Amino acid sequence: MKASLGFLLPMGFLCACLTVPRTPMEVAEQGKLSRGLENQLRFLRISFFLAPFFADEDKQLLSPVHPQWLHLLEDTEGEPIPPGEAEGVLPAGTLVRILKVEFPTPSALRQRLVYSPRSRPWVYLTTPQASKPLVLVLPNSFEDADDFLSELNRFLTPRNPLSQMAAFSVDEQNAVHTKESIPGISAEALEMALGYPESKTIFFEGEQKTETWSWGRGRKTVHLRGGRVLP
């Protein structure tokens, strides 16, 4: 009889499980970081949905997962408020320019709409593929600049991921471009397509690894075996 082992790995960006208190960066460090990132060219590390930026019609939200799965804004009952329906996809490898990084300082908060994820850092981006400025919303506290850059690099990379995608099959490349999961694609292609999962449950039976990836608090799950998506 083969033994089985299972465990759960929280994935960070959308997971509400991380409760360790963190000390926010100093305002001066935030300003220096923002100035250093202005006008940098980056590539999308994963594919993103374009969505409305809640009540702000002058911007679009860059969402790493389906907009209906986001938990960036809550109603009075603590339920998530989705930003709106998906309006398109920007695939991994899209070139973007960082316009600015805006931390939730008192002056920034005064200018932000109440009906928005106003307490988090916003990264403003531009690309010819979008008609409005794009906003990538990040978690709301970092210990230092290195901590912030580590998180930013998960989504915006200085290295073009198209070289990695060139090794994918045609089906895998199509899945990445359409943000879909299809049977048989690799874990790498799945991550680029659907975004980083909130959690991974991993089981071992002997040397055989089976995984369950989850997004949107379980609203979307995908099963993998041997690093490939199962039917």
Contacts for 149 with CB less than 8 Å, ≥ 6 apart: 33
Instruction: Quick: pLDDT tens for 194-208.
Output: 999 999 999 988 888
pLDDT of residue 24: 60
Q: Judge whether 199 lies within some domain.
A: yes
**Structural domain of residue 188, as residue ranges?**
4-14+169-229
Whether residues 77 and 118 fall in one domain: yes
Question: What's the domain count of the chain?
Answer: 2
* Tokens, residue 209: 């690894």
Q: Where are the alpha helices (DSSP H) in 6-85?
A: 27-37
Question: Quick check: is 191 in a domain?
Answer: yes
In a domain, 223, yes or no: yes
Residue 91 makes CB contacts below 8 A (sequence gap 6+) with 44, 47, 176, 177
pTM for the whole structure: 0.85
Whether 145 is covered by a domain: the verdict is yes
CA distance 64 to 48: 5
> Are residue 117 and residue 204 in the same domain, yes or no?
no
Asked if residue 59 has pLDDT above 90, the reply is yes
**pLDDT of res. 11:** 47
User: Helix, strand, coil: what percent of the chain each, to 5?
Assistant: 20, 30, 45
One domain for residues 179 and 137: no
User: What DSSP letter does each residue of 79-143 carry, written as one string?
Assistant: -B-------EEE-TT-EEEEEEEE---HHHHHHS-SSS-TTS-EEEEE-TT-SS-EEEE--S--S
Mind listing the pLDDT tens digit for each residue in 97-122?
A: 999 999 999 999 999 999 999 999 99
CB 202 within 8 A of CB 209: yes
Spatial strand order in the sheet of 134-137: 88-90, 48-53, 56-63, 134-137, 122-126, 95-102, 41-44, 156-157
Query: Are residues 206 and 197 in contact, defined by beta-carbon separation less than 8 angstroms?
Result: no
Buried b / exposed e over 170-191, threshold 16 CB at 10 Å, is eebbebbbebebbeebbbbbbb
Shared domain check, 145 and 79: yes
Identify whether 19 is part of a domain.
Answer: no
Predicted pLDDT at 14: 41
Would you state the pLDDT for residue 26?
80
94 and 154 part of one domain: yes
Q: Which residue has the tokens 């460090």?
A: 29
Is the domain of 95 the same as that of 207?
no
88-102: per-residue pLDDT in tens?
A: 999 999 999 999 999
Residues 208, 129, single domain; the answer is no
- Do residues 97 and 197 share a domain? no
Q: Which of 162, 185, 209 is the last residue of a domain?
A: 162
Residue 69 belongs to a domain: yes
Contacts of 78 by beta carbon, 8 Å cutoff, 6+ apart: none
E strand or H helix that includes residue 78: none
Question: Which of the listed residues 162, 178, 204 is the one where a domain comes to its end?
Answer: 162
Which pair of tokens denotes residue 140?
Answer: 């709301």
Pick from 52-56, 80-84, 141-145, 192-196: least confident? 141-145
| Predicted pLDDT at 79 | 87
Of 114, 146, 162, which residue constitutes the final position of a domain?
A: 162
Q: Kindly state whether residues 96 and 140 are assigned to the same domain.
A: yes
Q: CA-to-CA distance for 10 and 59, rounded, in angstroms?
A: 30
